[in-house]
Structure 1
């Protein structure tokens, strides 16, 4: 029986301080059979790139099985050749569907540290996307006994997707999966459910200009990123977004001896905590307690006042 892990976010708006700037080296990591793994996380995976704290990584991720597009009637010549190369050449494949760049080894990151991932920019890079749902899944399985899949063509200039003649969706791209490696004792973990190490959080607020914080469980952190979404509603109620290939830049910063219990995030205007649990109420409680902890740590509030502010 599959469990649905609920992500609840608790958001507070506060005025933050300026960040210190550090010298950075720029790396490039493009999706290829040698640089991706699909459908799982594992602390034993060998890194495909090694960087230092403060370095910038330019990413090109691949999302969209070309055989899936063929089955939906897309002529082979309209499907980007690189998708065939990545999907049919990848060797590290698990049970999940997410094709992930990495892992990236960050020098100096050790268990008990916190990894800051600054998402400097994200954009759509290919015009083809897919979306669908399968029977007996999602929020309303009783309403949709039959599945459906569709191809969407993206206007890269206008940054839109035409869903129907009178329904145009503005693109707001983000990576659905950002994760460090799980603790080694967990072994190989499917990429479907999110966890304390991040993963398939599908958090539509993690766009360019935002920052994600993750706890580190293994040396080097072993960061993986993928599952590109051109746009998504809050909740991803049918269990898919407008799935497509993305490009972007991240900057990674290691914070020593600052272990987190759950992922946290920061936007230009808000601080965000996340609660991951199969029970909706428990997820909400986790996210709220995380926000109280953050307010106490960050602003020196007592817990009573933090509770009222949250």
Structure 2
């Protein structure tokens, strides 16, 4: 029988699941790190639903547009010196009963909804072209607004960032900068997704949220949105899932350093899977599988992705290595997920319709 996670997941009876509300507060968020020693913000059973709030670490780029009282309270409660080693503000961790190393954590994203209709894109010091002469030392913020239907973003204003962008969550009021019209007559398709989501790494101590890895984290695949499912290899007892760094839009590569960073609430269903394992995060959509791989060298990331995609096809669709290699060449697509997060990302897209029913 071919691999069918959907069939297995439906075996959980809906009546047994509980719905939890995880509000983002100073006590339920952590800034800049994954850490397997963090106290869980929530404990759930496999199959439960979680409505979780996430708060962007870029809300200070336009506080009059991107902050409400709850977001202001979180920023006020966490000193700037504690916002490290990475920049991202995450909600969690969520402890899932019975999850253990060797399992997979299935995270179904059922819905995503912007908390506020604004998001910020930063042409950042870590952007791909920042060291080029045309963009060197040019840090620029562009604020977008999403429409009521959640389909399109329109540019609201832009400004040149005053000084280096070296304080995570720094608040700049509108009188601190010169806001200007930008991208006149243009709109951007909305691609609401979770930029950073993953289980706690096996490594002890704080681990920066910047580089994605086998535990997930800052993957920045804009397809990780509503009506999709992520699978993460569990590294610790309880899995310890954290999430944040939501984007209203982003292209493959995240070229200038960020997506359209925003605070987004999400409805998840989280399950422990003991019936299969895989060493890297997998995204499932209605039409495709996506295998993610990471490395500081993009060529090496592509090599890892190739071998892991072959492993996926051999283990779950019973192809030989030679068959899988040929299939990837003619039917799969290799995408550059992002080039700006220390570990560069590749994802291999495998079409489900290529596999005929048994």
Task: Please tell me the TM-score bracket, short chain as reference.
Answer: 0.7 to 0.9
> Structure 1's 234 and 66: CA in aligned 2 closer, same or farther, altered over 3 A?
closer
1:103 to 83, 90, 93: 93
Matched, 1:138 2:127: yes
What's the secondary structure of 1:233's corresponding residue?
A: coil
| Greater C-alpha radius of gyration | 2
- Structure 1 residues 165-244: aligned runs within 5 Å: 165-185=184-204, 187-244=205-262
Unmatched tracts of structure 1, length 5 or more: 1-13
Q: Alignment partner for residue 150 of structure 1, among 142, 146, 151?
A: 142
Q: In the aligned structure 1, how far is the partner of 2:193 from the partner of 2:32? A: 18
Q: Secondary structure at the match of 2:62?
A: helix
> Cα 1:79–1:43, aligned 2, differ >3 Å: closer, same or farther?
closer
Q: Which position in structure 1 is the counterpart of 2:72?
A: 84
Q: CA deviation at 1:66?
A: 4.4
**Alpha-carbon distance in structure 2 between the residues aligned to 1:37 and 1:278:** 26
Name 1:56's counterpart in structure 2: 49
CA contact (8 A) 1:216 1:259 kept: no
Alignment correspondent of 1:40:
33
d(CA) in 2 for partners of 1:16, 1:259: 11
Contact 2:43 2:96 in 1 (8 A): yes
Unaligned runs of 5+ in 2: 156-182, 329-358
In 1: Cα distance, 2:94 partner to 2:6 partner: 29
Residue 133 of structure 1 and its aligned partner are, at CA, apart by 1.8
Deviation per CA, 1:29-52: give whole Å up to 9, x if none: 121111110110111001010011
Q: Is the 8 A contact 1:36 1:100 kept in 2?
A: yes
Secondary structure of the corresponding residue to residue 201 of structure 1:
coil
Question: What is the DSSP-based 3-state SS (H/G/I as helix, E as strand, rest coil) of the residue aligned with 1:231?
Answer: coil
1:124 Cα deviation (Å)?
1.9
Q: CA deviation at 1:95?
A: 2.5
Task: Name the counterpart of 1:248.
Answer: 266
Is the Cα–Cα contact under 8 Å of residues 64 and 130 in structure 1 kept in the other structure?
no
Question: Contact 2:58–2:261 (CA<8 Å) still a contact in 1?
Answer: no
Normalising to structure 2: TM-score of the pair?
0.76
Matched, 1:122 2:112: yes
Contact 2:211 2:217 in 1 (8 A): yes
Question: Cα distance, 1:96 vs. partner?
Answer: 1.7
| 1:5-58 alpha-carbon deviations (Å, 9 max, x no partner) | xxxxxxxxx998644241321111121111110110111001010011111111
Relative distance call for 1:64 and 1:170 in structure 2 (3 A) is: same
- Alpha-carbon separation, structure 1, partners of 2:241 and 2:150: 32
Structure 1 stretch displaced more, 300-309 or 145-154:
145-154
Aligned to 1:7: none
Mapping 1:2-13, distance limit 5 Å: none
Q: Following TM superposition, where does structure 1 have runs of at least 4 consecutive aligned residues deviating by more than 6 angstroms?
A: 14-17
Aligned mates of 1:16, 1:35 — CA distance in 2: 30
